[in-house]
Chains A and B, each alone.
Chain A
Amino acid sequence: MAVLVSLIVGLGLFFIIGFAARAGLRAAAPARHRPMFRDMPLTASFGLAVILVYVVVAILAPVIAPFGEGEVLGDQYLPWAAPHYLGTDKLGRDMLTRLIFGARNTVGIAFATTALAFVAGSVLGIWAALAGGWLDQGLSRLVDALMAIPALIFSLLLLTIFGTSVLTLILVIAAVDATRVYRLARSVAQGIVVMDYIEAARLRGEGNWHLIRREILPNAMAPLVAEFGLRFCFVFLSISALSFLGLGIKPPTADWGSMVRENATLITFGDITPLLPAGAIALLTVAVNFVVDWQLQRASGLKE
């Protein structure tokens, strides 16, 4: 029964947010972008609205949060009642506050990692496609070898060797994911470097760096942007999984993955509080996936 009710409420919220966001975006967008928003599917407008809310919460975290991030305020595991609207965790810290700060920490770290993986992977990939020869062969075979090992397993191996801290976490996940970005960037760039305008730019005497920045990147943008969204989801999920396993972001920092782990015992008593941070992770990945799906459909002109 409870499942059914929450399903209906969830669907209702989805439609309301979706419609409202679509109307809002259409009104706010400049005239020449308006057609894009007119036939955007409901899932995409819902996704955009959710992403917007997360970004606002992450930026304004200290202003919105009712208490301090690491403040111990009272008994452990208090039920949902004012002033702790979502109760307290196992150390007596306010759950709502930690959820809000988690948006800043978890999403921020995932975003930084994705950006790092992206810059490294795409620059190397495009460079390999441009240079060709032994550089391309060497890098590509190395990436093939690294990709033959499952990502999570490889990250675990690297974390064992370098130890677990936030910095190593970012570097390790970025390195593992950069191999995937490299593959895509290289294959996209390979289609571009044979174009006449690249030949023309080369004959003008432009250097490699100029070619990458001014000629290739602008033409490779559409697939790379979609890949950025998908990559963010993967990175976000793997960072959360590692934090959940106790190997990622460390306790005093509020983080959604480790919050689930710390409070998991509550679930055996039928309390859904530990599911909130997990749900926050799930909602953001769903939202990003919806938006990427829409962008991919638009880019490929697929209407089925």
Chain B
Amino acid sequence: MTEIWRMIGQRLLLGMLTLFIISVVIFGATELLPGDLARELLGQSATEETLAALREQLGLNDPAPVRYWNWLTGVLQGDFGVSMATQKPISELVGTRLGNTLFLALYAAALSVPLSLLLGVLAALWRNSVFDRASNALALTAISFPEFFVAYILILWLAQTGLFPSMVRITGATTTGDLLYSAFLPALTLTLVVTAHMMRMTRAAIINLLASPYIEMARLKGMSPMRVVLHHAVPNALAPIINVVALNLAYLITGVVVVEVVFVYPGLGQLMIDAVTNRDIPVVQAIALIFASAYVLLNLLADVLSTVTNPRLMHRT
């Protein structure tokens, strides 16, 4: 047991290091710009006073390491600074939207994970059948679709008939039931986009195992194919499957950006796009840091979980 805790501790430290480097990259990216950030943002016609005011606001007069330190200590206390476009504290802008985005991602995950595992296991069970070939071709097709194409097809098909709303409005009075109903189309879009990949990887992981001697042994004992797959193949395929699931959940985080814009969903992605359009750098940095942290944490979780389910990985170097 102690070994597991030591492994988890190691991975956590590594994750912290990654997060630190990411924060340096996200902050340092602004330094790449040749010349003055204030002039770049305000354009050539800006007067000296407005330039000086903006420099003061962004703290551009301090050297970069000092600014980074101030930014990082602020972020660690939940203070991301002030938005340049609206002059509001960023933590206030981000707060409720982060919850909305997490809700959408979790909703999509709750739909897509069971669906793709089921489809993957079935495709592996009946491999080279019509079902397998059709689902494979469909999956390859779905992977290649841009998210907004899937989203608009769903709108045309399901929102036009009045079954589901094509825009999501969230007010204080919205109950969870309403939210589940009105966020169904965005969640379904994300589901369709990630299910294909997860299904293909689940199938590949299980088929890979079906060639092992212990599976042949089980088969020779006269076990039914269903039982062989469920009791002998799936438990051993858990590690790669967990990895794929986590990777795709991480993918959901970025996929959410486009989908939120299509469905006018009040989440972080939409806020980020607005901020990019206005070149509101502090907001973009804050949201990029949040998305990147979620991405790193999910990868970390996958790493730990797959090691726990497959003790052989414990002794890798």
Contacts and interface: CB of A to CB of B under 8 A. Distances in A.
B140 A161 contact: no
A67 interface: no
Most A CB contacts (10 A, CB to CB) among B29, B143, B152, B276 go to B276
A245 B33 contact: no
A206 to B, nearest CB: 35
Interface stretch (A79-87, A90-98, A121-129, A233-241): A233-241
B78 to A, nearest CB: 20
A247 B276 contact: yes
B276 A156 contact: yes
A148 B148 CA distance: 25
Nearest to A288: B144
A88 interface: no
A162 B147 contact: no
A278 B127 contact: no
Contact of A161 (B143, B156, B166, B281): B281
Given A247-B273, A278-B148, A148 B21 contact: yes
Interface residues of A, number: 48
Contacts of B30: 161
Nearest to B287: A153
A281 B281 contact: no
A262 to B, nearest CB: 13
A114 interface: no
Given A150-B291, A152-B257, A289 B148 contact: no
A160 B281 contact: yes
A165 to B, nearest CB: 13
A160 B284 contact: yes
A278 B160 contact: no
Contacts of A160: 275-276, 279-281, 284
A215 B249 CA distance: 41
Contacts of A270: 156, 160
B25 A278 contact: no
Contacts of B277: 246-247
Interface in A159-182: 159-164
Secondary structure class of chain B's binding surface, majority of residues: helix
A267 B261 contact: no
A247 B284 CA distance: 14
B253 to A, nearest CB: 6
B296 A148 contact: yes
B254 A152 contact: yes
Contacts of B147: 241
Given A150-B254, A247-B273, A247-B277, A145 B25 contact: yes
A60 B30 CA distance: 42
A270 B143 CA distance: 25
Interface string A263-300: 01001101010110011011001101110010000000
A157 B40 CA distance: 15
Interface in B126-150: 127-128, 137, 140-141, 143-149
A146 interface: yes
A103 to B, nearest CB: 16
Interface of B: 18, 21-22, 25-26, 29-30, 32-33, 40, 127-128, 137, 140-141, 143-149, 152-153, 155-157, 159-160, 166, 207, 250-251, 253-254, 257-258, 261-262, 272-273, 275-277, 279-281, 284-285, 287-288, 291-292, 295-296
Interface of A: 3, 43, 145-146, 148-154, 156-164, 233, 237, 240-241, 244-247, 257, 260, 264, 267-268, 270, 272, 274-275, 278-279, 281-282, 285-286, 288-290, 293, 304
The list of the 8 closest CB pairs from A to B, nearest first, reads: A285-B144, A278-B149, A152-B254, A286-B144, A150-B254, A160-B284, A145-B21, A282-B145
Given A158-B29, A162-B32, 14 more contacts: A150-B251, A154-B288, A156-B284, A160-B275, A161-B33, A244-B261, A245-B261, A246-B277, A257-B146, A267-B155, A275-B153, A285-B144, A304-B128, A304-B207
